[in-house]
Amino acid sequence: MNGDREKRIQEYIEKGFWTRDLTADFWDHNAEKFSEETAIVDSKTRLTWSQAKQQIDRIAMGLLERGVNKGDVMLVQMFNSVDLVLIRLACEKAGIFLAVVAPTFRQAELQFVLNKVEAKGVFIPYDFRGFDYYGMFAELRPRSPNLEHIFVTGEEIPEGSISFQAMKEEPLEEKHPKDFLDAFKFAPFGFEEIMTTSGSTGIPKCVQWPDCARLAHARVGIERLRLTREDVFCAFSPSTGASTEYLTYRCPPQIPARTVMMEKFDPEEACILIEQEKITAGGIVPPMIIRLIHYPDLNKHDLGSLRLLLSTAAPLPYEVAREAEEKLGCAILSGYGSMDSGGVSLASIDDPREARFTTVGSPLPGNEVKLVDDEGNEVPHGEIGLVTVRGPHCTEGYYQDPEATREAWKTGMFNLGDLGRFDEGGRLQLVGRKKDVIIRGGQNIYPKELEDLLVQHPKVLDVAVVKMPDLEMGEKVCACVVNKTENILGFEEMIAFLLEKGIAKFKLPERLEAFGILPLTPAGNKVNKRTLEDEVAKKMVGGRS
């Protein structure tokens, strides 16, 4: 470790941002102090803190006994579940790096990740939502020389795989001393997990995530969201990404409080879950909020326990936030960061309503957030600039890719690729991705501005504004909408609506495309605008409008 990193670690410790605790340490503590209290729940499993610790330890010891060594890499491709949480904690206690991939990744992405991290084994369901995960990994296995073990969760275990359930039930604690795992668990201040994100090229990026940074982010969440032991958390969106990760994985054991894992989001099932488990705080993404507030039987459910929803991964339109807060009767807040950078900012439950709807909150304590122009110069307060960050809530760089790490942090700050401005209260307001900005005849058009207006139209359920090529202007605006009913939005109707809102004429969309559903990124948490641009370009060639 170089001197600069040692100095930075010492600084963050002295300022109280980092501690020597790992996430698993909190579970061990809670197993002793709150042993019989419920820790985690999904549709099939409910575990107390002591039951969870026992299974975590058994998994960790089982991996070591099967020849997975401290410092090896395992891969997990799982939906939200109790098992996913147990796997993450067990690998941490065994000193085994865990590469986490989205359930939507398929052969091309997985082959790259398996070879990049040299995974010694994988954790997967046999099948999920009708897809054969075991069959996919059986095909990948011959081309992945390091892949020795395939652990399968659930009751149905195909030949050639190892039962994860049997591992949880094997009483290895009777074979080893109580402190056996102490020699294996990770030391503090390094990274423990490798989070994967699909880059702009479609090739996954492998990001090193340190426990200390994620736990620090969670402590800010505990303070700003006023979280207590009385809260019940729910991972509505994927629990390994965005703010849902720290809200539902890093916050609960530090309080401690109960966590509910929702395997697959469905508005009706979400409402039932809130009623049954008395959920108070949830991690969610904008597409899910839109589906929830337009669920026709919403008023038939008692959602009185819910006090906040934390929305991340993509900007939440103002009108959607307003409608959600009114219909759901809870506070709607946003946080900001990325898989590549780590945490950047977070709203407070004490922020004024307008600030919660229009910003992603104030920078996390210790973070230095600068807005810069294309030359790297900091822009004046209130002006739009590229968001850059560094601080104790940030990631460690890219796994076994020093060149990519140097490039990402070459200025000493991480460039998130988003455009934003600070409001008078020092809160960050995002205006869109720099690569999404539409330059029409030299004039900049920010899609988010149009999206926030169009989603207010009574016929529009969801919307994404993208660029389309034009020989004369370079780029023009296309509005891609999902209509609420068969009574679809017409082009002239759209233009009249936007003009009524006072939009400048050069910003008006020059094409309207209707979609049944907007395509999402592989993580399933935000709209894939690259796919939309390709589809719009094809329709232009075909003469459709």
Per-residue pLDDT, 524: 66
Per-residue pLDDT, 544: 42
Backbone angles phi, psi at 529, to 5 degrees: -70, -25
Residue 525's pLDDT band, with cuts at 50, 70 and 90, is low
Query: Whole-angstrom Cα distance, residue 100 to residue 196?
Result: 6
**Cis peptide bond prior to 256, omega within 30° of 0:** yes
Per-residue pLDDT, 202: 62
Per-residue pLDDT, 3: 61
Closest CA to 187 of 322, 70, 287, 72: 70
Distance of alpha carbon 319 from the chain centroid:
22
pLDDT tens-digit map of 19-73: 999 999 999 999 999 999 999 999 999 999 999 999 999 999 999 999 999 999 9
Number of Cβ within 10 Å of residue 441's Cβ equals 11
Per-residue pLDDT, 313: 80
Residue 5's pLDDT band, with cuts at 50, 70 and 90, is confident
Q: Where are the alpha helices (DSSP H) in 170-230?
A: 211-224
What is the pTM for the complete model shown? 0.89
**How does 96-128 read in b/e, with b if 16+ C-beta sit within 10 Å?**
bbbbbbbbbbeeebbebbbebbebbbbbbbbbb
The tokens describing 542, both together, are 């075909």
Q: Where are the domains of the chain?
A: 19-188, 207-434, 437-542
Q: Contact 235/261 with Cβ under 8 angstroms?
A: yes
Query: Whole-angstrom Cα distance, residue 500 to residue 483?
Result: 20
Residue 204's pLDDT band, with cuts at 50, 70 and 90, is confident
Question: Is the predicted pLDDT of residue 200 greater than 80, yes or no?
Answer: no
The CATH number of domain 437-542 is 1.10.10.10:
no
pLDDT tens-digit map of 254-297: 999 999 999 999 999 999 999 999 999 999 988 899 899 999 99
Residue 199's pLDDT band, with cuts at 50, 70 and 90, is low
Residue 496's pLDDT band, with cuts at 50, 70 and 90, is very high
Residue 539's pLDDT band, with cuts at 50, 70 and 90, is confident
Q: How far is CA 98 from CA 65, 92, 143, 148, 273, in A?
A: 17, 8, 20, 15, 29
Q: Contact 289/319 with Cβ under 8 angstroms?
A: no
Query: Whole-angstrom Cα distance, residue 76 to residue 90?
Result: 12
Thinking of the domain 207-434, which architecture would CATH place it in? 3-Layer(aba) Sandwich (3.40)
Question: Is the predicted pLDDT of residue 224 greater than 50, yes or no?
Answer: yes
**How does 278-303 read in b/e, with b if 16+ C-beta sit within 10 Å?**
bbbbbbbbbbbbbebbebeeeeebeb
pLDDT tens-digit map of 375-427: 999 999 999 999 999 999 999 899 999 999 999 998 999 999 999 999 999 99
Q: Where are the alpha helices (DSSP H) in 102-142?
A: 107-117, 133-140
Per-residue pLDDT, 381: 92
pLDDT tens-digit map of 506-515: 999 999 999 9
Does 207-434 match 19-188 at the fold level?
yes
The CATH number of domain 19-188 is 3.40.50.980:
yes
